[in-house]
């Protein structure tokens, strides 16, 4: 899952805070080291009867600085954790919003795909209906019945194409085709509807 801008900014801020804490921790270690040295010197001076007033004041100041750094670091860590928690909550909310938005977009894409498919199917049906209408119109114009029209074919008679339907009625060894000449238009041969002719084709 990709990070949102909210979480990215929060991580950057947390990283900066941790670097600052690490620097302060380095200073605290120095203060603690100095406090250890002062404490040892004070004990030594007290054993020898020397005045330790200034060193005790310096030790107290050093210890206070170390304690302040520790407290500041704890507060900064707590604040960083608080900000990270807010960022996680905001990130979760934003992620849900993004998911809802993506679901809505996917729904629209699915609807568009369905509409396109529906339009394609409707167009195919219209083309099929148009083809049937044209075929029926041609059948009515040809003068054949629907059954005859299904058997209709084009043959060349004297260089002119004629629509015919096979109706063989002769019993002969010579291959032949008995045809009914349909109504013709344009370059087709004009013939009376229903007239039967016999055309023998040698093979």
pLDDT band with cut points at 50, 70 and 90 for residue 181: very low
pLDDT at 190: 41
Phi, psi of 190, deg, nearest 5: -85, 130
Average pLDDT value for residue range 104-122: 93
pTM for this entry: 0.45
Evaluate if residue 14 carries a pLDDT over 90: no
Distance CA 67, CA 40 (A): 19
Q: Decide: residue 69, CB within 10 A, 0-12 exposed, 13-18 middle, 19+ buried.
A: buried
Distance CA 8, CA 91 (A): 9
Evaluate if residue 140 carries a pLDDT over 80: no
- For the segment 47-65, what is each residue's pLDDT rounded down to a tens digit? 998 888 999 999 999 999 9
Average pLDDT value for residue range 108-134: 92
pLDDT band with cut points at 50, 70 and 90 for residue 150: low
| Domain ranges across the chain | 5-120, 146-199
Evaluate if residue 168 carries a pLDDT over 80: no
pLDDT at 8: 83
pLDDT at 148: 53
């Amino acid at each position: 899952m990709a990070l949102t801008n909210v979480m990215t900014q929060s991580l950057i801020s947390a990283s900066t805070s941790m670097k600052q804490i690490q620097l302060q921790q380095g200073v605290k270690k120095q203060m603690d080291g100095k406090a250890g040295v002062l404490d040892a010197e004070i004990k030594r001076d007290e054993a020898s009867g020397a005045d330790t007033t200034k060193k005790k004041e310096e030790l107290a100041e050093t210890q206070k600085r170390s304690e302040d750094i520790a407290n500041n670091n704890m507060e900064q860590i707590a604040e960083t954790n608080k900000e990270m928690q807010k960022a996680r909550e905001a990130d979760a909310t934003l992620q849900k919003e993004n998911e809802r938005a993506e679901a809505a977009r996917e729904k629209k894409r699915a609807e568009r795909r369905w509409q396109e498919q529906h339009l394609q199917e409707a167009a195919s049906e219209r083309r099929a209906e148009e083809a049937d209408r044209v075929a029926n119109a041609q059948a009515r114009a040809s003068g054949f019945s629907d059954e005859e029209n299904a058997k209709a074919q084009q043959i060349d008679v004297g260089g002119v194409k004629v629509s015919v339907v096979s109706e063989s009625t002769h019993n002969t060894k010579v291959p032949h085709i008995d045809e009914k000449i349909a109504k013709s238009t344009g370059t087709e041969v004009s013939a009376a509807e229903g007239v039967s002719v016999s055309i023998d084709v040698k093979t």
